Structure 1
Amino acid sequence: MSLIEKIFGKKQKETETGPLRLEFNKLPDLISAQYRKNRDVSAPVIEKKYKEIGSSVRDIKDARKELLDAEAIADANKRAEKLGDSNRENVAHNLNLIIEKIRVPSNKDPKNALVFFEDSKATMKNVLDNTRKSQLYIKALYPTEFENINLRLANLESLLDELYEMIRDDKNKIDAFEKLPQHMENISQKEKEAQLSRKRILALEEKYESAKTDLVNAGSDIAKLRNSSEFQKANDLENNIKALENKIYAVNSDIRRLFTPMSKALSRMEKQDKNEMHVLSPENRKVLIMLKDDPASIPEKELGPFLDMLEKRIQSRDLGLKDPMYEKILRQIHKLKETTAMSDLREQSKMYSSDIETLTAELSRLDIYREMDLLQTQESQYRDSIGLILSNMEAEHKHLEEIEEHLEISRSILNSEVKEIFGQDAEIVY
């Protein structure tokens, strides 16, 4: 049983039609077998044509000798004979190129026959190009030999063309044979790339599912933590702290309102200080700034001297205000100096601040927020990881699509080459 029968199975009945089914991995052996089959069929015909070509070359060798031995026509003058001799030498030299270069190969392979044909045709063209002018002299002086040479060259060229006609159908097969290994390598490489890409996609899908599970678990842990008694306690502490902070803000607002009636006077004092009309001491300037920004932060020992200074300025009427405004400010100064309104508000603020410190210390001893921060950080990381995985999956899917497109093109090219080699449709099983 032949190799082809071993791989394909025995020949099917003539009535059965359909493409050859060829396994991709066995294709090199099948192609080699088919190549040998084509070569064995072509070899006897090529060998016969080689013999005819070899005989034709020998005829040209004889014609070359006859030209060198020939005498010029009787009526040729000396000058013509001299020119004829030099051109005869040129023709003989070029004919010798044909004799030396056009040697039929011992191998009857169609591929070698094609190379032999192309090289021989190139040699013939060079010889004819090199002797075109010389042949005019030969024709005039040695007409019989010229005719003989032309007939022999035409015969050789005809035999070479006949050889090409015999192997022309094999040329496409030879091209396909030569291209096949590279195309098969391309397909194998693309299949490996596609396999690696699919593995990467599977790995990314596993990571995606794992990250989704982690995200769900983190969300569940956060929900449990929020529903825990410790979290509720921490939340209550925070709410109490915020309530106290709001009370401190209200106290500070009340303190600010104590100085609202004297706002115009304070503004005039600031302008006069900047314009150096009435320069304040560094201590009073500091208090003035604090009154504008945060009156609650002014120490009592610094506020008293400032109010004394302000009272003198009001009494001296040097701030450019109307009399009713001076009186209003003066009453407010007396209220601040003679009542405990300011100190009472300060005490309230200190008490609220003390309570905030106590609650904050208690809150800091709880681990619940640290646990919540950790879980929320993990949740954010899982969410970011999922986004990155999805992006990588999309890129990998696109990469796989590109590989599969190239693979489809390469397989189509391979199918065409296999069809050319076997002379019928073939289905390649990958």
Structure 2
Amino acid sequence: VAHAVSGQVRPMHRPTVHAVYRPRPEREPVDAHPAPLRSVRLPTGPADPSGAAMRLRPDPLSLPQLAVLMAWALVSAAVFVWLRVRSQARLPVRPFAMAAARAVQGPRVRGQHTLPVPMQELRAVLFDMDGVLCHSDDCHLQALKAELLEADFETADGRPIDAAFWQEMVSGQDSDQVMQNLFPHRDLLWRQAFLDRKEARYRELLRGRLQPVLGLRRFLAWVDGAGLRRAVVTNAPRASADAVLAELGLADYFDVVVSAAECPQAKPAPDPYLLALERLDITASQAFAIEDSPSGVRSAVAAQVACVGVTTSFPAHALRKAGAVLIAPHFVNFLCFCPDALPSLNPEGTTYWFTGTDTFSNFSPHPVRIEGVEWPTSEHYYQSRKFAGHPELQEA
């Protein structure tokens, strides 16, 4: 290299570059001895008499190698463009949809956009009883278990009679069908006597033990305030339905009570809901039902009644698969969907209430004002808390 730089190189001379390196493993032990120095000879091109630096000349790429390189570059560029477009198009979808809905529907009222039936058409609410008005599965299970033990009943696979057994074999199903599934070799009179004993034991157990579903009282107050009619549609015997309503203090609250014994077929057939609509003198489009089991949801859907699923007994995916158009864990959550059910926190404007299952998030483009400072989104405010005490950084 020194000869080349100084120009003391013959025209046909091919100098060599001596490179010294020390190979190193990926992870050396602490007490490892350094590797010995080695020398390699790297051929270079002819020297530049002008003294310019020399460059190594790699071998040219073959056509197959060039084709592979170009294909890799095109695929990488396509993936990058797709990810870029997808990330940019995801956020504006929700605000655009909300703006379009407001332009078409006009000013939005709290909850009106999420109810299964528009408020201007709604005339009644149809309630299932067990699992919707109250938590009664424990009392039912204890009564059934006691009667099964007295009848020396054993499951075919030896499984215990527990909550999982109740949900799979009993919950939400027609009582006569349950008895037939449990006792296929018994006659109808024996099964009916067993069911009567079980229901009588259940009515004894529920005294002082029934708990209403969270938010029930406030939701019923909203139903009253909205001037809507009310009906109970249940597969339970009428005596048990009356006992539950009396225990909850709702014996005189409902306009109509329909039990399975009054219908040709019980849920999941549409008969109970069709009878309730007939007694209320309304159409299916003027009411919505509230159910906690896939069987009950299918019954309402078969009667062409929009159904809300409450996840007190079954998971949301099971209710949605059965046809529920709206899912809520309890009535406190469902109140967010009901117009004027929750108080307005802004007397000069509109308060929008959202639930944990809504797509409304801290990145939604709705400004918030806190302590006289307006933030573009709630996320801006949350991030600013990291710089408390430094206003200039918070505003940045």
TM-score, normalization by structure 1: 0.23
TM-score, normalization by structure 2: 0.24
Bigger Rg, which one = 1
Q: Which has the higher helix share?
A: 1
